[in-house]
Structure 1
Amino acid sequence: MDFYAIVHNDFDGTASAAVYSRAVNSLPKKVWFTEPTKLHNLLAKLELRGVSNVMIADLGINASTFPSIVESLKRLVGEGAKVQWFDHHVWKEEWKSKLKEIGVEVYHDTSTCGAGVVHKYMNPNDDFSAKLASADCSVDIWLHDDPMGEKLRRVVEGNRDFSWKEKLIQTFYNGVLWNDEFQKILEDKIDEELRGYQRLKKHFKVIEVDGKKVAVAIRWKGAPDISYAGQYIMTRTGAAVFASANGKAISFRSNRYEVRKFATRLGGGGHPLAAGAGLKLPLIYRVLRRLGWVTPALNWVSNVVSNVIKEEGFTEYK
C-alpha cells in the first residue's frame, strides 16, 4: 500500500511510522518529520500525486493553527485521500469531532505514546511492534520501565539527519530492534555523555518551592541530552521537578508530579510527566549567555518557574 507518513521528528514519531508500516506491510512512499507548530504549513502544501493514504502520528494540535489544518485535510479528503491521525497528546473533544466530521479517522489515546496508539489500533498482535512501542513509551512519556527505551532513544535521536530516521524506519520494519551498528552508536553516545556531565554544574541551580526542591537549568551545548541530564540532576539533588530553558522554550520533567499544568500555564502542553512551552529569554540575558555568563539567565528562569509552580501547586501523578 502506498502511503505518506507525517510524524514528529523524534523517537516516538519514528517508531510510529515503523509500527504503521508493519501493520500495512509497506514502507511509506515518503516521510515528513515535523513539529506541531509547522504541521499546518506542511499540509497546506501537500500534494497526493497518486497516493491515497496519509498517516499522521505523534503530532498534537495547536489551537491557533487548527482551522488551517482542517481546511487542508478537507481538501485532501475531497481529493480522495484516506487520512488517519494517531496521537496521545491532550486534545479538545471539538477537535476530534471536527476532524471526524470532514472524514479523518482519529485514533486518540492519552494513556500511551504515539507508537503505542498505532500499535493498539493497527496491529495489536504484532510482537515486534509491541516491543518497539514499549521501548518508545518508556522514554517518551517518562515511564522509564523498559531499559531498551534508554538505548534506542540515544540511537534514534543522536543523529538529527532525517535520512537516518528513514533508515531506522526500514530497520524496524524488517523486525530488527538492535544490531551491532546500534551498539557502537550507544557506546559512543555514553562516552560523550559521561564527559558532558562534568560541565553541568554551572548550568543549573536548585530552588525551593512550597517545601520541595526544583532544579532549574539553562541549556548547554552538546551532551548529555536534556532528558538524561534531568534524570541525573534530580537524582543527585533530590529535586522533585526539573525545568530547563534554551532561550526560546522551557521544558518540565518529573518522576512524581504532574508538570503539564506548569507548561499549560505558560501556553504550552505535553504529557503529565514531560511537558514544555515557549519561553523567550529577554535580550540582555541572551547576550550574556552567549558571552558565557549563564547566572543572570538562570536566575530569571528560576523566578518564572517558581511563580508558575506556586500558582499551580504540586499534584502527584497517579
Structure 2
Amino acid sequence: MEYYAIVHNDFDGTASAAVYARAVGSLPKTVFFTEPNKLHTLLRSLELRGVYNIMIADLGINANTFNDIVKELRRLINQGAKIEWFDHHVWKDEWKEELKKIGVNLYHDTSTCGAGVIYKYRNPNDNFSRKLASADCSVDIWLHDDPMGEKLRRIVENNKDYSWKNELIKTFFNGILWNDAFDKILEETMSKELEGYKKVMKSYRLLEINGYKVVIAVRWKGPPDISYASQFLMTRTGASVFVSANGKSISFRSREIDVRQFAVRLGGGGHPLAAGAQLKVPLLYRFLNKIGIKSPMLNWVAKVVQNVITDVGFIKYQDKKSISFY
C-alpha cells in the first residue's frame, strides 16, 4: 500500500510511523515530521501525486488552526484521499465529530501514547509493536514503567535530522528494537548528559505558589533533554511542577499536577503531565540569554508562569489506567 505518513517530530511520532508500517505491511512513500501548530501549513502544501492514503499520528489539535486543518483535509478527501488519524491528546468532542463528518477515519484514545493507539486498534497481535509501544508510552506519557523507553528515547532524540528518524522507522519496521550501534550512541549520550547537568544548574529559578514549588529553567544547549532535566530539577528542588522556556515556546512537566491546564491557558495543549505552548520572549531578553545573561529572561518567564498558575490553580492529576502491554 502506498501512503504518506504525517507524524510528530519526536519518539512517539517515529514509533507511531513504525507501528503503522508494520500494521499495513509497508513503509510509507514519504514521512512528514511536524508539530501540532504547523500541521495546517503542511497539509496546505501537500499534493497527492498519485498517493491516496494518508496516515496522521501523534498530532493533537490546536484550537486556532482547527478550521484550516478541516479545510485542507476536505480538499484532500475531495481529491480522493483516504485519511486515518491516530491520536491520544485531549480533543473536544466537536472536533472529532467535524473530522468524522468530512470522512476522516479517526482513532482517538487518551489512555495510551500515539504508537499505543495504532497498536491497539490496527495491529494488536504484533508482539514487536507491543514492545515498541510499551517503551514509547513509558516516556511519552510519563509512565516510566519500561526501562527500554528511557534508552530508546535517547537513541531517537540523539540526532535531530529527519533522515535519522527515517532510518529508525525502517529499523523498527524490520523488527529490530536494539542493535550494537545503539549501545555506542547511548554511552556517548549519557556522558554528554552528565556534563550537561552542570549547565542546567545555572539556568533555573525556584518559585513557591500557593504552597507548591515550581522550578523554572531557560533552555540550555545540548543534553540532557527536557524530560531528564525536569526529573533532575524537580527531584533536586522538591518542586511539583517544572517549566522551561527557549524564547519561542514553553513546556510544563509534573508527576502529580495537571499541567495541560497551564499550557491551554497560553494557547497550547498536550498531556496532563507533559504539555506546552508557544511563548515568545521579548527579543532583548533572548539576546541577553544567548550571551549568557540569563536573569532578565528568567524573570520575564517567571512572571508569566506566576500569573498563569495563579489564575488556573493547581489541579491534581487524576490517573487513568493506561493500556497494559503485558
Query: Shift of residue 46 of structure 1?
Result: 1.6
Alignment partner of 1:161 is 2:168: no
Alignment partner of 1:45 is 2:19: no
Q: Describe how 1:12-51 pairs up with structure 2 within 5 A.
A: 12-51=12-51
Alignment partner of 1:196 is 2:196: yes
Q: Deviations over 1:277-311 (max 9, x none)?
A: 11111233122212211012112212221222222
In the alignment, residue 16 of structure 1 is paired with which amino acid? S
2:7 equivalent in structure 1: 7
Per the normalisation by structure 2, the TM-score is 0.95
Structure 2: how far apart are the matches of 1:155 and 1:9?
14
CA contact 2:62–2:269 (8 Å) conserved in 1: no
Structure 1: how far apart are the matches of 2:290 and 2:76?
45
Structure 1: how far apart are the matches of 2:299 and 2:102?
48
In the alignment, residue 302 of structure 1 is paired with which amino acid? A
Structure 2 residues without counterparts, runs of 5 or longer: 319-326
CA contact 2:115–2:133 (8 Å) conserved in 1: yes
Look up the SS of the partner of 1:250 in the other structure: strand
Alignment partner of 1:130 is 2:110: no
Structure 1 residues without counterparts, runs of 5 or longer: none
2:252 equivalent in structure 1: 252
Structure 2: how far apart are the matches of 1:246 and 1:15?
26
1:82 equivalent in structure 2: 82
Structure 2: how far apart are the matches of 1:303 and 1:44?
37
Structure 2: how far apart are the matches of 1:232 and 1:262?
21
Q: Describe how 1:282-297 pairs up with structure 2 within 5 A.
A: 282-297=282-297
Q: Deviations over 1:54-88 (max 9, x none)?
A: 10001112222222222221122222221000011
In terms of mean alpha carbon deviation, does 258-267 or 283-292 score higher? 283-292
Q: Deviations over 1:21-55 (max 9, x none)?
A: 00011111111111112211221222222222110
Structure 1: how far apart are the matches of 2:56 and 2:154?
24
1:105 equivalent in structure 2: 105
Query: Shift of residue 182 of structure 1?
Result: 1.0
2:322 equivalent in structure 1: none
In terms of mean alpha carbon deviation, does 10-19 or 217-226 score higher? 217-226
Q: Describe how 1:170-185 pairs up with structure 2 within 5 A.
A: 170-185=170-185
Look up the SS of the partner of 1:60 in the other structure: coil
Query: Shift of residue 205 of structure 1?
Result: 1.5
Q: Deviations over 1:174-225 (max 9, x none)?
A: 1111111111111100000001112222200211111121111011111111
Alignment partner of 1:59 is 2:59: yes
CA contact 2:263–2:275 (8 Å) conserved in 1: yes
Look up the SS of the partner of 2:194 in the other structure: helix
